[in-house]
Structures are given as structure tokens and as C-alpha cells.
Amino acid sequence: MRKRRNHSPEFKAKVAMEAISGTKTLQEIAADHAVHPIQVSQWKKQLLEGASDLFTRGKKTQASDES
């Protein structure tokens, strides 16, 4: 039985960014990186959903520091 692979956040972001760029299909990206196409689409979805947090976290931290 194979052991589950744990991918680094950097790897996931790289694959997701490649999927967002649209230069290759999800199947091509999955084959290039030896992951399942569904995994690529899940990482892409997570990146798109979490992208807005990148811009709001700094404001929340800054506001609490000023108080």
C-alpha cells in the first residue's frame, strides 16, 4: 500500500497558479506534477477563495495594533 504524499504549500500554490493561468488544461498540469486532476481543481478553488484574505489580514492586524 502506498503512503499518502504531503505536498508543501509552495507546491500547491505553484500548481494552483498554473491552473489559474489557463495556459494548460487541468489534465496536463496534473500529469506534469504527478497529481490527480481533481486535486488540481481543489487547490485552484482554495486559492481563488482565499485570495481576498491576503488583502484583509493586514488591515485587521494593523487596526488591532493601533488600539
pLDDT for 20 equals 96
Task: Answer whether residue 54 is part of any domain.
Answer: no
Task: Categorize the per-residue pLDDT at 63 as very low, low, confident or very high, splitting at 50, 70 and 90.
Answer: low
Cα 17 to chain center, whole Å?
7
Task: Answer whether residue 17 is part of any domain.
Answer: yes
Helices (H), ranges, the chain: 9-21, 26-33, 37-50, 53-66
Q: What is the model's pTM? A: 0.76
Task: Answer whether residue 49 is part of any domain.
Answer: no
C-alpha cell at 67: 488600539
Boundaries of domain holding 28: 11-39
pLDDT digits (tens, 9 = 90+) for 11-31: 999 999 999 999 999 999 999
In this structure, the dihedral spanned by the alpha carbons of residues 21, 24, 28 and 34, taken in order and rounded to 10 degrees, is: -30
* Mean pLDDT along residues 42-54: 92
pLDDT for 4 equals 86
What is the rounded CA–CA span in Å between residue 30 and residue 32?
5
Task: Answer whether residue 4 is part of any domain.
Answer: no
Task: Answer whether residue 59 is part of any domain.
Answer: no
Average pLDDT, the chain: 87
Task: Answer whether residue 1 is part of any domain.
Answer: no
In the chain, the number of structural domains is: 1
Q: Which residue matches cell numbers 485587521? A: 60
